[in-house]
Homo-oligomer: A and B are copies of this chain.
Amino acid sequence: MRVEIIAIGNELLNGDLADTNTARLAGWLRRQGLAVRRGQTVPDRLDAIVEAFGRAAVAADLVLVTGGLGPTSDDITMEAAAAFAGEPLEEDAPTLARLKARFADRGYPFTANNARQALVPRGAVALDNPVGTAPCVLLEGQGATFFFFPGVPRELEHLIHLHLAPWVAAHADVRPYRSILLKTFGKTESSVATELAALPLDPRVHIAYRAHFPEIRVSFHADEGDAAVADALLAERREVARAALGALIFAEDEATSLVDVVAAQLTARGETLVTAESCTGGLVAAMCTDVSGSSRWFLEGAVTYSNAAKTRTLGVPEALLAQHGAVSEAVARAMAEGARERSGATWAVAVTGVAGPTGGSPDKPVGTVHFALAGPDGTRHARRRFPFDREGNRIVSAWTALDLVRRAMI
């Protein structure tokens, strides 16, 4: 079954709102094993909408349309559907009755505008919308089936399950999509791709990469109708990818973040963490405390931006700062060790670097960052040179610090 999506609304083409409904519909469709071939975004203009309908009907069997079903004069999706189908708009009596009852129930006045929402093209089917006013409309036109949904995401979600799901189950040869996800951190997309490109791949398995800064996501999808065979193919691929990528993989599902992994490690071991940050300026601490329950393992964070603060709060010797500069291995180590000693935590991670855009020098260019992790077995150090802007360098530095903690506990 060939599927297309059309999103309608001036607000989607003037910068006021990003269209999330296409992704919402597409995600649901994928979970049914259906792929979307194309999306169109059109303003609330009759000719543009009718043209989009015609174009979709040529290439698709099922066309899902969102938006333009509201009660105001700029909502003209039903007019366009009528023009496209070559049928007049007619009042749908059950919908009008439902609307009037809904308004009476809430004590709202029922205006002529509101009655517009009961108009559908002759021959179309107005389906119930228990969570809003606009009906969900089903229309057969020019060889394709059209579903019209309100643009309000909450209503759309509800109507997908209420009306689209049973229709798809009855009409499409549904084949649930089987895939696996590996979330990696620490190498670029092209390096990860190079690692995996050398491994022979069954032609039924497709690989996709996605940069979800600063992580690189690798997913495998089995294009195979037999679920057991698909699962076996993916399980084999998971093992191969794990062997190739090793510790680069920090999670294998959508929901688990890097800090979730660190939190689980620390909680399981009954250990604690403190942070000592310069260039990341509190981002590592903010990531840690973003997780509910982090008070069990996160004790404290120091954002020692000035040299004086590094000395006063973490005990970094002034002489060390004078000799090596704040952005140095020696100072990173002293920050971590000072933070660990003063707090009594199991682990202390420190970050000091040049986030940019200013502050770089020939021997310490922008993007240079030193990391240190002090733990029960001593202190380890890492140095990186990041190529991003200030915000990017700060984010990837915060991730690198947390990843250092994660790898120390693998």
CB < 8 Å neighbour of A13 from B13, B15, B22, B305: B22
A199 interfacial contact with B, CB 8 Å: no
- The answer for the CA separation of A106 and B355 in the assembled complex, in Å, is 15
Chain B residues in 8 Å Cβ range of A357: 292
Q: Which of A26-34, A136-144, A222-230, A235-243 contacts B (4 or more CB under 8 A)?
A: A26-34
Please tell me the number of chain A residues within 8 Å of chain B, measured between CB atoms: 109
Chain B residues in 8 Å Cβ range of A113: 190, 193-194
Q: Contacts A19-B23, A193-B72: A305 and B309 contacting too (C-beta < 8 A)?
A: no
Residue of B whose beta carbon sits closest to that of A70 = B189
A131 interfacial contact with B, CB 8 Å: yes
A210 interfacial contact with B, CB 8 Å: yes
- The answer for the CA separation of A7 and B12 in the assembled complex, in Å, is 13
Chain B residues in 8 Å Cβ range of A305: 289, 294-295, 298-301
In angstroms, how far is the closest chain B Cβ from the Cβ of A228?
A: 23
A109 interfacial contact with B, CB 8 Å: yes
- The answer for the CA separation of A390 and B290 in the assembled complex, in Å, is 8
CB < 8 Å neighbour of A42 from B38, B211, B298, B385: B38
CB < 8 Å neighbour of A282 from B43, B108, B158, B289: B289
- The answer for the CA separation of A194 and B113 in the assembled complex, in Å, is 8
Contact B10 A15 (CB under 8 A): no
Q: Contacts A41-B22, A275-B303, A306-B299: A394 and B191 contacting too (C-beta < 8 A)?
A: no
**What are 13 A-B contacts with C-beta separation under 8 Å?**
A5-B41, A36-B43, A70-B211, A73-B193, A107-B385, A108-B188, A111-B190, A113-B194, A275-B282, A290-B391, A300-B313, A302-B302, A309-B343
Interface bits A346-372 vs B (CB < 8 Å: 1, else 0): 000000000111100000000100000
Q: Contacts A106-B385, A114-B190, A209-B74: A12 and B40 contacting too (C-beta < 8 A)?
A: no
A304 interfacial contact with B, CB 8 Å: yes
Chain B residues in 8 Å Cβ range of A52: 38
Chain B residues in 8 Å Cβ range of A152: 211, 213
Chain B residues in 8 Å Cβ range of A7: 39
Q: Contacts A38-B42, A289-B303: A71 and B190 contacting too (C-beta < 8 A)?
A: yes
- The answer for the CA separation of A394 and B290 in the assembled complex, in Å, is 8
A16 interfacial contact with B, CB 8 Å: yes
A387 interfacial contact with B, CB 8 Å: yes
Chain B residues in 8 Å Cβ range of A40: 38-41
Contact A106 B300 (CB under 8 A): no
Chain B residues in 8 Å Cβ range of A288: 281-282
Contact B12 A23 (CB under 8 A): yes
CB < 8 Å neighbour of A22 from B18, B43, B342: B18
Contact B390 A292 (CB under 8 A): yes
Contact A302 B299 (CB under 8 A): no
Residue of B whose beta carbon sits closest to that of A289 = B281
Q: Contacts A48-B37, A299-B305: A15 and B24 contacting too (C-beta < 8 A)?
A: yes
Contact B358 A292 (CB under 8 A): yes
Contact A29 B15 (CB under 8 A): yes
CB < 8 Å neighbour of A285 from B13, B39, B303, B389: B303
- Contacting residues of chain A (369-394) with chain B, CB-CB under 8 angstroms: 385-392, 394
A173 interfacial contact with B, CB 8 Å: no
- The answer for the CA separation of A188 and B357 in the assembled complex, in Å, is 35
- The answer for the CA separation of A42 and B13 in the assembled complex, in Å, is 17
